[in-house]
Structure 1
Amino acid sequence: MENFIVSARKYRPTLFDSVVGQSHITTTLKNAIKSQHLAQAFLFCGPRGVGKTTCARILAKTINCKNLGEDGEACGQCDSCKSFQENTSLAIHELDAASNNSVDDIRNLIDQVRYPPQDGKFKIYIIDEVHMLSTAAFNAFLKTLEEPPSYAIFILATTEKHKILPTILSRCQIFDFNRIQWKDMSAHLLNIAEKEGIAAEKEALDLIAIKADGGLRDALSMFDLNVTYSTDNTLRYKNVLENLHVLDSEYYFKLTDALAAQQHSEAMLLLNEIIQKGFDGHQFLSGLMEHFRNLLFAKDPRTLALMDISEENRLRFKSQSDLLTVSYLLSAMNLCSNAENNYKTSKNPRLLLELTLLKINYLPSVFKPESTHSSEVEAGKK
């Protein structure tokens, strides 16, 4: 039985061009290497799973590559690249500051910095989760970071830039990583599925990418989970919904149609079905409020373009939003927000949900469409 390697490791990028969704950073780093304008300290910031440590490793490998390509990428064939890929490089050192955050750990690192590299031009130190260093460790590191030897380069990575001392920040070239767009993640997952011989519905990959909320590592973990769940090497939207325990957006569209038509019985039946499937009421309220928010955005083409959803859903939101007034949507969002705030302290959460839906159900009686209101006024005049 072969050892299984998770996708996040198996398909970890090894070149700048293979990094997903961070072209503004990879282009800058490649240009810096080609023009030999390398800073002596880099700080990579951003949320988890967006490629900070991956870019740090690619940068470290590329800096010491002996046969650098014209495009600024490492060759992957020279002794330096091979030793890095085999984890035997003596010029590249990694330190996990989450578990090595004391003054002694930093002093040991500083002692290593004093000796020039035996192979390659630079000694590169990658310090992950650097915000975990103690204040004393930061202070011990400060002098070396301020005046490092010409052959030393430091690459720091963190998810919490605000916890790093300003004196450290001022000595680093700072790169802010973006959350990865779900469309880029979905395309990357499709590429991996094709390489692994897995049939995947586009909607299933889109759902995984949206659920990952900008973190590619999370998306790859969910992808592996759903592939394992599948019995025939096929990723289906229905199975992914069930496995990730995501409430299908179809419920929100149906519920909104029922509420807008003042069919409170239909709304109660849909709510019961959602609860019977084991979905948390608090999660349901948050999703419903976001659905109303999307409908509000769909009323204007400019804000409709801001919605990070598929084109098919965009058109669907536009169609449903035409049936509702702005006043209705704002009032519905307000009712959902109040219920969300009171949900955890409520002695009868289900009753709170039902009462909220009933209040939304009878909003059309209060906020009638302008055309209906105008016709009533005309009828009164006659």
Structure 2
Amino acid sequence: MNKNTKVLALKYRPQIFDDLIGQEVVAETIINSIKSNKVPNAYLFTGIRGIGKTTIARIVAKSLNCLNGIENLCKENLCENCEAIAESRHIDVLEMDAASKTGVDDVRDLIEFSRYGPTSSKYKIFIIDEVHMLSKQAFNALLKTLEEPPEYLKFIFATTEIKKIPITVVSRCQRFDLSRIKSSELFDFIKKIKDKEKGNATDEALKLIVKISEGSVRDALSLLDRALLSLDGEKELDLSVAQKIFGYFDKSQLIEMFNLILKGDENKVIESYRNIYDQGVEPKIFINDFLEILYYFKNINSLTLESTNFSLNDEEFNQIKEISDNINNEVLILFWQFTIKTLSELDIVSNQHLSIEMFLLRLIHIKGFKPKDEDKVATEDLQDPKEKIETNIASKIMNKDTINQIKNVSQEKKMKLDSQISTKNLNNIKIQSFNELVELCSIKKEMKLKYELEKNVNLVKFENCRIEISFNDNLDKDFVKNLSTKLLEWTNERWIISFSKNQGEMSIKDKEKNEQKELIESTKKTDLHKMVMEYFPDAELIDVKLTRKNEDK
């Protein structure tokens, strides 16, 4: 097959270790082991897609079986073995795709085939791609052969999901973790390929390809192939054309939109987003890019232009740095939280486009930022009332304070008693009534005691350091012991708790039920209830809640 008709990923596939990029340590280790004649029974290559797992497996097979030896490994004028291995037709080098042959019977056939020595080379080699796809039974069948194979037999495994391989298999292999290719190395590589192919593309367009490929050489070459094929004649592939081809938009648009959000310009923010949306950018891609920009705004002072992996150019980097100097970190963290929340909301709404617009408007209304160098008082004087409210709300959210909380009567009583207790010696509290005892249990977080006092205890008499009660059958057997211990702890005095044959008062819960029942009955006699029943004859009054105004009366 003519190389010129191949896609770039196949045309420029490495044939020897020197052709590899980004995997120098792995290559050097393997070469040294072959030179020292310390070849492991099995190699295991793991890493993301497109970084050379299967390619290295074939190079290892060539290195072991090349007629010229590892020192003079064939590169262009291939020997018989190297040529056959490169074309996947060597009789002693069997390549198997575990994704299509996952069963134990396939592995048994492999083991049976391994009983016979190589016919035309030094080693018989089994290359199993995506080995994690093998079944549990298949792995078990392979274990014994993998641990003690014949001297002529070698295994080479490749996988993207190392965690799915049983540890018993991993421990029998020499494992190599292939790293993502660094952005600078990948950029130099595809630039050389572009020049060989006589393509016309700017460095900014190539940097976008590097960013999208996420460290995968195959992805980068496939994207470059697609980009070069989309151009006619001498037309240049610049950043704007590449963004249209790959569905990405200019980061400077996002930075400008962020600036408009901080200024509170609703119309221009929405207009800016719609321009981005019209370029074919999906809402989820927009949100993820927005998160990336937020990260840069928050950490720009600790980053360099190179560490952004070509996500930003010089102008964008400096622009973010300038804007970030006037934004508080609390605002950026708050924006991050809202953006993450919106990302999860996109799967719920039917029109994601509208959801993004509402998200941007929400950011405008919760911004509440102030320049770092300005005095707080001066900033408040410059804000209009609406901005002051937004600032306060943002501050409350960040500090997890309660906003305009409405307290009921019982909460206020508890706060009053809590205030009284705080002004006294914590080990010398005076309890003057049964109700104060119940409230104190609540304040002290003794909820079990509080429950028993309210539900299962009937008060007969309450005096200083003495409580006389009656009780029902549900009272906890350790109630008296627990209550006495706590009273001694709280008041620094010993209390006498005695049981009485007298019935005593109703329990607090029973009182509440009776009061509620009486309230319902009295409400049924009102004109309002009669009028409601005329319109809704099947209605039933089951609860009445008094407003604060009625309780004060």
Sort the Cα spacing of 1:155 and 1:357 in 2 relative to 1 into closer, same or farther, 3 A.
same
**Aligned pair partner of 2:346 in 319, 343, 353:** 343
* Larger-Rg structure: 2
Partner AA of 2:123 in structure 1: F
Name 1:240's counterpart in structure 2.
242
Q: Counterpart in 1 of 2:270? A: 268
Equivalent pair of 2:327/2:369 in contact (CA under 8 Å): no
* 1:318 matches 2:321: yes
DSSP 3-state at the match of 2:268: helix
Q: Which letter does structure 2 place at the counterpart of 1:326? A: N
Q: CA deviation at 1:326?
A: 1.1
The offset of 1:110, in angstroms, is 1.0
Q: CA deviation at 1:52?
A: 0.2
Alignment of 1:76-155 (within 5 A): 77-155=78-156
Does 2:372 correspond to 1:370?
A: yes
Tell me the CA shift for residue 370 of structure 1.
2.7
Amino acid at match of 2:125: I
What amino acid sits opposite 1:274 in the alignment?
Answer: I
- Identify which range, 317-326 or 205-214, moves more after superposition: 317-326
Partner of 1:332 in structure 2?
A: 335
Q: Structure 1 residues 111, 130: CA separation in 2 closer, same or farther (over 3 Å shift)?
A: same
Residue by residue, what CA displacement relative to the aligned partner does 1:154-194 show, whole Å, maximum 9, x if unpaired?
Answer: 00111111111121111111111112223222211111111
2:127 counterpart SS class = strand
- Structure 2 SS opposite 1:81: helix
Counterpart in the other structure of 2:198: 197
Q: 1:83 to 1:274 in 2, by over 3 A?
A: closer
Deviations 1:135-163 (A, max 9, x none): 22111111111110011110011111111
Distance verdict in 2 for CA 1:151–1:314, change over 3 Å: farther
Give 2:98's aligned amino acid: A
Return the alpha-carbon distance in structure 2 between the equivalents of residues 100 and 282 of structure 1: 36
CA distance in 2, matches of 1:82, 1:280: 46
Partner secondary structure for residue 124 of structure 1: strand
Equivalent residue in structure 2 for 1:282, among 281, 284, 288: 284
Letter of the aligned partner of 1:247 in structure 2? F
Match of 1:249 in 2: 251
Q: 1:292 aligns with which of 291, 294, 299?
A: 294
Cα shift readout 1:292-333 (whole Å, capped 9, x = no counterpart): 11211213348x775323562544433332232211211111
1:232: Cα distance to partner? 2.1
1:105 is displaced (CA, Å) by: 1.5
Q: Is the 8 A contact 2:14 2:20 kept in 1?
A: yes
Query: Deviation of residue 113 (structure 1)?
Result: 1.1
Contact 2:58–2:85 at 8 Å: present in 1 too? no
- Taking structure 1 as the reference length, the TM-score comes to 0.90
1:377 to 1:318, Cα distance in 2 relative to 1, 3 A: closer
**Cα contact 1:180–1:214 (8 A) shared by 2:** yes
Structure 2 letter corresponding to 1:19: L
Q: Shift of residue 335 of structure 1? A: 1.5
Q: Distance in 1 between matches of 2:276 and 2:380?
A: 43
Pair 1:34-2:35 in alignment: yes
1:85 Cα shift?
3.5
Give me the whole-angstrom Cα distance separating, in 1, the residues matched to 2:303 and 2:250.
25
Shift of 1:106: 1.2
- More displaced, 24-33 or 145-154? 24-33
Measure, in 2, the Cα distance between the counterparts of 1:346 and 1:57. Answer: 48
- Does the CA-based 8 Å contact 1:183-1:206 persist in structure 2? no
Please give the residue correspondences for 1:177-192 in structure 2 after superposition, counting only pairs within 5 Å: 177-192=178-193
Shift of 1:73: 4.6
CA contact (8 A) 2:53 2:158 kept: yes
CA distance in 1 between counterparts of 2:306 and 2:113 reads 52
Aligned to 2:186, the other structure's residue is in SS state helix
Match of 1:50 in 2: 51
Counterparts of 1:156 and 1:37 in 2: how far apart (Å)?
18
Asked if the contact 1:16–1:73 (Cα under 8 Å) also holds between the matched residues in 2, the reply is no
- SS of 1:175's equivalent in the other structure is strand
Match of 1:353 among 344, 356, 363: 356
1:5-45 alpha-carbon deviations (Å, 9 max, x no partner): 10111100001121122222112112212222211111111
Gaps of 5+ in 1: none
AA of the residue aligned to 2:225: D
Count of paired positions: 376
* TM-aligned CA distance change 1:350 to 1:193, over 3 Å: closer
Which ranges in structure 2 are unaligned for 5 or more consecutive residues? 383-553
- Which deviates more from structure 2 when the two are superposed, residues 113-122 or residues 155-164? 113-122
Structure 2 counterpart of 1:338, one-letter code: K
The TM-score, its normalising length taken from structure 2, stands at 0.64
Code of the aligned partner of 1:353: I
Paired amino acid for 2:28: T
The answer for the alignment partner of 2:495 in structure 1 is: none
Supply the distance in 1 between the matched residues of 2:350 and 2:13 (Cα, whole angstroms). 48
Change (3 A) 1:66 1:344: same
